[in-house]
Homo-oligomer: A and B are copies of this chain.
Amino acid sequence: MRFLSDNTAAVSPEILEAIAAANHGLEVAYGDDPWTQRLDQVLGEFFGAEVRAFAVTTGTAANALALATLAPPYGAIYCHPEAHIAVDECGAPGFFSGGAQLERIAGEHAKLSAAALAAALDAHSVSVHSVQPAAVSISQATELGSAYRPHEVAALCEVAHERALHVHMDGARFANAVMHLGCHPGDVTWQAGVDVLSFGATKNGALAAEAVVFFHLGLVRDFELRRKRAGHLLSKSRFAAAQLLAYVESGMWRRNAVRANAMARSIGEAAGKRLLHPVEANEVFIDLGAAGKAALRAAGFEFYDWGAPASGAARMVVSWDQDERHAAALCAALTAI
């Protein structure tokens, strides 16, 4: 019974069908195909705004390419210490940007607050000697399973834009957050001021497809060249675009997220007082202690430790295709501890 990561998930049937449907005949490569050419329109309708959208195959690529477009090599990128870009991408933002520096700002449940951002920017004495504040990156849902409310995103963006910083959102679990919030995808992105979104589909059922969605259209040409030279422009682009189109158009982005969120919420409830962070997506963080972890593992549950080695915390991630009996078993086991 595997709760290791939503990256362990299989591919949703809608996606494989879309790939098969696109698989006929010779199509012009590198994006001049009918699937890719529909991306801007379909994602534009999805978000309710004019967008430019580009497919890549990994979240790290999406995030780092977006940030390299937003920040010069001498830029500072503000993020939470738990941000995926800071701890799980092997330094990709520094690589893609040519050296931009991450500035970490703490915050509860892995969320940045507008006040903390403003304070950090106030404390950063900007001169030719310092890195130049350039971008803020927030994760929706966060790495601790919480979700930013639209007004929280808006407040952050206001602080950022007042000082000429761009805002990037790492939406590896964007669908989960939006389904939890019950809002429109535009509400927590462009309506709140987000300039660029890494719109993840892979964890939620795609094979390998993430869209970098620009709400700020002026940055696009630089992005396209950076994507190519980073080896992230796919020759058979139609198959990446077809995944993203199916993700949105079939409604599976919603179905899969709702399903995973519901199981995660049950697990969170079963965790009771041991729950460490609000469950606002498909991840659950539980203070199990060494004994609790051992008991669950003995019972056949797989999951990762979280935080400092001695912390006793565990992370349970529910995949879109998680077996409901496994989730129920986990709830029962948690209640029994």
**A contact set with B: CB distance below 8 Å:** 2, 4-5, 7-11, 16, 19-20, 23-30, 56-65, 72-76, 86-92, 94-95, 97-102, 104, 122-123, 125, 128-132, 202-203, 207-208, 222, 224-226, 228-236, 239-240, 307-309, 319, 321-322
Does the CB pair A27–B8 fall under 8 Å?
yes
Closest chain B residue to A202, Cβ basis: B235
Question: Chain B contacts of A90 at CB under 8 A?
Answer: 74, 128-132, 225, 228-229
**Contact, CB under 8 Å: B28 / A23:** no
Beta-carbon contact of B229 and A99 below 8 Å: yes
Nearest chain B CB to A241 CB, angstrom units: 12
With the chains together, A99 CA to B91 CA distance in Å? 7
A128 touches B224 (CB 8 A): yes
In the complex with contacts A95-B98, A231-B64, A26-B9 CB distance below 8 A: yes
- In the complex, 16 of the A-B residue pairs with CB atoms within 8 angstroms, ordered by the A residue number, are A7-B235, A9-B26, A26-B319, A26-B321, A30-B128, A57-B231, A73-B95, A74-B91, A89-B229, A91-B101, A98-B99, A99-B229, A207-B236, A208-B240, A230-B230, A231-B232
**Contact, CB under 8 Å: A239 / B11:** yes
Contact B101 A60 (CB under 8 A): no
Chain B CB count within 10 A is highest, among A11, A202, A239, A308, for A11
Residue of B whose beta carbon sits closest to that of A28:
B8
**What distance in Å separates the Cβ of A334 from its nearest Cβ neighbour in chain B?**
19
**A131-B95 Cα distance, complex, nearest whole Å:** 11
User: Are B230 and A129 interface neighbours, CB within 8 A?
Assistant: no
7 more contacts with CB within 8 A, not counting A57-B234, A74-B91, are A16-B23, A60-B229, A61-B232, A73-B226, A91-B100, A92-B231, A230-B231
Q: Of the candidates B61, B132, B202, which one forms a contact with A231 in the assembled complex, judged by CB atoms under 8 Å apart?
A: B61
A195 to chain B, nearest CB (A): 20
Whether the pair B122, A92 counts as a contact (CB closer than 8 A) is: no
CA of A88 to CA of B235 in the docked complex: distance in angstroms?
Answer: 12
Closest beta carbon of chain B to A64's beta carbon, Å: 6
Given A56-B231, A87-B130, also A23-B10 (CB < 8 A): yes
Most buried by B among A57, A104, A132: A57
**Most B-side CB within 10 Å, residue of A132, A228, A229:** A229
Contact A29 B7 (CB under 8 A): yes
Q: Given that A8-B27, A88-B129 are contacting pairs, would A101 and B102 also be in contact in the complex, using a CB cutoff of 8 Å?
A: yes
